[in-house]
């Protein structure tokens, strides 16, 4: 939801039929991507994931991003003027590198922010709009990009040096696709594994110190902060109990 509550931002898959051969046999599947299927999923459709906005009152959605690439995460700027998003615009079918781009919320050309070295998963704007936080991994070996730990980084939305906040943290940050959330006190909240479970932690943007928030022998699957960051709602489960929703004082 936009900061003024008037528009929704969402991802939707767009038909990629134009990228398939013009003349084709109907009962034959054409493979035009390197990653064309996955166990448990089957063949990928000829679609790409792109950003859209739509009025909260309804109406026709407007498409913001276009092209032979996929958008995987996005967040409004606090003033509603821009949208930061994660995408694989360059050689998306041949690399796991993802970058952050910023686009005007009313449409326009995306501006690349990061340097093309990091497997970025999610992005979140700070409440004052001065920083972007993102989770990402710089591959230890380009030929084996899955090796290495995911960290939390911050950088100005206008560009500049990215700063790793969790370089001293002794484990990887988050699970695949999981997001980070800003508190109103200069803290960033995130999930991380510990002894076979997933717990909740926070890191100070100024000091880079990581502190536990919610620990225990359970897996915290997702969480959200209330507007003033005083309470946390989270879903959690363990080996003998189904997933339930809990509330915790921050």
Model pLDDT for residues 157-201, shown as the tens digit of each residue: 999 999 999 999 998 998 665 688 999 889 999 999 988 889 999
CB 167 within 8 A of CB 210: no
| Structure confidence at residue 179 (pLDDT) | 82
Token pair 């880079």: residue: 208
- Give CA separation, 82 vs 66, 77, 85, 234, 242, in Å: 17, 5, 10, 29, 39
Question: Residues with Cβ < 8 Å from 94, sequence gap 6 or more?
Answer: 34
| Structure confidence at residue 233 (pLDDT) | 96
Residue 221 has pLDDT above 60, yes or no: yes
| Structure confidence at residue 20 (pLDDT) | 43
| Structure confidence at residue 22 (pLDDT) | 52
CB 71 within 8 A of CB 60: no
User: Could you tell me which CATH class the domain 7-174 is placed in?
Assistant: mainly beta
Residue 220 has pLDDT above 50, yes or no: yes
1-16: pLDDT as tens digits: 999 999 999 999 888 6
| Residue-range domain boundaries for the chain | 7-174, 183-250
Q: Decide: helix, strand or coil at residue 19.
A: helix
CA 236 to chain CA centroid, nearest Å: 21
Residue of 157, 164, 155 lying closest to 210 (CA atoms): 164
Does this model's pTM top 0.85? yes
40-67: pLDDT as tens digits: 878 877 788 999 999 999 999 999 999 8
Q: Is the dihedral of CA 117, 123, 126, 129 positive or negative?
A: positive
93-150: pLDDT as tens digits: 777 889 999 999 999 999 999 998 889 999 999 999 999 999 998 887 766 666 778 9
State the average pLDDT over residues 81-85.
98
Residue 229 has pLDDT above 60, yes or no: yes
């Amino acid at each position: 939801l936009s900061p003024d509550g008037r528009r929704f931002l969402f991802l939707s898959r767009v038909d990629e039929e134009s990228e398939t051969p013009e003349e084709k046999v109907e009962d034959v599947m054409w493979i035009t991507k390197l990653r064309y299927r996955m166990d448990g999923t089957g063949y990928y459709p000829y679609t790409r994931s792109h950003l859209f906005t739509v009025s909260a009152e309804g109406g026709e959605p407007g498409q913001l991003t276009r092209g032979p690439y996929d958008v995987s995460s996005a967040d409004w700027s606090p003033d509603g003027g821009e949208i930061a998003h994660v995408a694989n615009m360059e050689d998306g079918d041949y690399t796991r590198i993802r970058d952050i781009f910023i686009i005007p919320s009313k449409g326009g050309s995306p501006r690349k922010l990061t340097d093309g070295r990091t497997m970025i998963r999610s992005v979140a704007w700070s409440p004052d709009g001065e920083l972007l936080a993102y989770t990402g991994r710089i591959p230890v070996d380009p030929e084996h990009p899955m090796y290495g730990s995911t960290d939390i980084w911050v950088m100005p939305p206008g560009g500049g040096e990215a700063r790793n906040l969790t370089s001293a943290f002794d484990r990887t940050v988050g699970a695949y696709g999981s997001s980070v959330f800003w508190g109103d006190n200069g803290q960033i909240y995130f999930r991380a594994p510990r002894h076979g479970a997933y717990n909740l932690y926070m890191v100070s943007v100024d000091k880079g110190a990581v502190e536990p928030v919610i620990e225990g022998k359970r897996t915290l699957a997702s969480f959200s902060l209330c507007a003033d960051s005083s309470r946390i709602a989270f879903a959690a489960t363990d080996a003998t109990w189904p997933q339930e929703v809990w509330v915790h004082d921050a």
